[in-house]
Amino acid sequence: MVSDEELQRYFDGELSEAEARSVEAQLTDIDRARLKALEEMRALLNAALDGEAAEVDVWSGVEAKLKEERAEATRRWRERRRGGRRSLGLGLKSMAGFAAAMAAAFFVIVQPWPGGSRNDCSIETLETEGAIAAIFNDDDDNAPTVIWSEETEEEEN
Amino acid sequence: MQRYQRRIFAVALGMVHDPDEARDVCQEAFLKVYRNLDRFEGGARFFTWLYRIVVNVAIDHLRKKRGEQVAFDDTQAQAAAEEGGVAPIRLGLDPQRALADKELRQRILKALTALSPDHRAVLILREVEGLSYQEMADELGCAIGTVMSRLFHARRKMQKMLERST
């Protein structure tokens, strides 16, 4: 009969291969029955927890909390803006204005007409609460050009 | 993240026992994950990262409870602490039945509740999540010897309590 500690380590796979073989060689019928009892307990515990987990909805609470946080962030942003925070306030009536600004910048930087410079640049956009940024990066390691467009009060109404 | 919900809830429930508290632990963990997604290093498995956050939140929760001196009911567990290891007796309970039978699940969870938070934590980390002794020692901030001792006593007490309830 192996010791309690050895049996536990054997059951948990914490013995080296040589140690495990040595324990296996010493296992008595009682030890094997104890291993079966341990396996049964493990299976029961997993089944019980899995069964309980299947009946609980965790995600809807997370979604509600995230929605609440987003609403709070929007409220704070609006308060800041109404408080006279300096902003670029481009006052674009619609996304068409923003697209036009991007297109103009694209033509200035890329110059896709015959004979012009063919310097390429990548354009990324970043959307935040109430504003959109267009980031232009050229191939010449220059500082990126960023154009911000913010929503205006009229647009919300 | 929804696909991890059941697995994560099982871990949290096993550690804090109370279903409402387990749901709170999961929700706090999911929110932490959501807010810190940019810190996730793609090399690590996402579940491993999520799992570590859940375990840490659950451990903090247990520590807070202990700090508030919300004593756990260890009476039954103490009574079950007799000499000798796990008995060579199977309980004859069917795990498939435990999955569907709420009453049987409650009996198993009641036995789990009666364990101390330390014993419950090692039992869940080992039996449900399959952590090694070293990983458990790292998670719980204790020595491997302590992990082994807690696991040994947790299993023995659990078996005794389940025996009594059958």
Position A151 pLDDT exceeds 80: no
Of the residues A2, A58, A68, the best mutation for testing chain B's interface (the one with the most B CB atoms within 10 Å of its CB) is: A58
Q: Mean pLDDT across the stretch B53-67?
A: 81
**Lookup: tokens for B157:** 């007490």
Q: Any alpha helices (H) in chain B, and if so which ranges?
A: 5-16, 19-35, 46-67, 75-80, 95-100, 102-113, 117-127, 133-140, 144-165
Q: What is the mean pLDDT of chain B?
A: 77
> Which of B9, B90, B112 lies nearest to residue A40, judging by beta carbons?
B90
Q: Tell me, what's the pLDDT at A12?
A: 95
Of the residues B105, B136, B149, the best mutation for testing chain A's interface (the one with the most A CB atoms within 10 Å of its CB) is: B105
| Start-to-end CA span in chain B (Å) | 37
In tens, the pLDDT along B118-130 reads: 888 899 889 988 8
Q: Computed from CA positions of residues A22, A26, A30, A32, in that sequence, does the dihedral angle turn out positive or negative?
A: positive
Flag if A33 and B93 touch (Cβ within 8 Å). Answer: no
Alpha-carbon distance of A33 to A2, in angstroms, equals: 13
Q: Tell me, what's the pLDDT at A42?
A: 92
Alpha-carbon distance of A19 to A4, in angstroms, equals: 14
Helix (H/G/I), strand (E/B), else coil: A127: strand
pLDDT band, very low/low/confident/very high, at A125 (cuts 50, 70, 90): low
In tens, the pLDDT along A59-118 reads: 777 778 888 888 888 888 888 777 755 545 555 555 666 666 666 655 555 555 555 444
pLDDT band, very low/low/confident/very high, at A154 (cuts 50, 70, 90): very low
Alpha-carbon distance of B166 to B163, in angstroms, equals: 5
Helix (H/G/I), strand (E/B), else coil: A122: strand
In tens, the pLDDT along A24-44 reads: 999 998 899 899 999 999 998
Q: Mean pLDDT across the stretch B14-35?
A: 84
Q: Tell me, what's the pLDDT at B34?
A: 80
Q: Tell me, what's the pLDDT at A8?
A: 94
A44 reaches B (C-beta below 8 A) = yes
Flag if A45 and B1 touch (Cβ within 8 Å). Answer: no
Flag if B128 and A54 touch (Cβ within 8 Å). Answer: no
Q: How much is the pTM?
A: 0.58
Alpha-carbon distance of B131 to B45, in angstroms, equals: 15
Q: Mean pLDDT across the stretch B83-104?
A: 69
Q: Which stretch of A112-121, B41-50, B91-100 has the lowest confidence by average pLDDT?
A: A112-121
Chain B residues in contact with A45 (beta carbon < 8 A): 14, 108, 112, 123-124, 127-128, 158
Q: Produce one character per residue of B22-41: b if its CB has 16 or more CB atoms within 10 Å, e if not.
A: bbbbbbbbbbebeeeeeeee
Of the residues A1, A31, A38, A56, the best mutation for testing chain B's interface (the one with the most B CB atoms within 10 Å of its CB) is: A56
Q: Tell me, what's the pLDDT at B121?
A: 84
A51 vs chain B: nearest CA distance in angstroms? 5
Q: Mean pLDDT across the stretch B83-103?
A: 69
Position A51 pLDDT exceeds 50: yes
Helix (H/G/I), strand (E/B), else coil: A40: helix
Position B25 pLDDT exceeds 80: yes
Counting Cβ atoms within 10 Å, is residue A76 exposed (0-12), middle (13-18) or buried (19+)? exposed
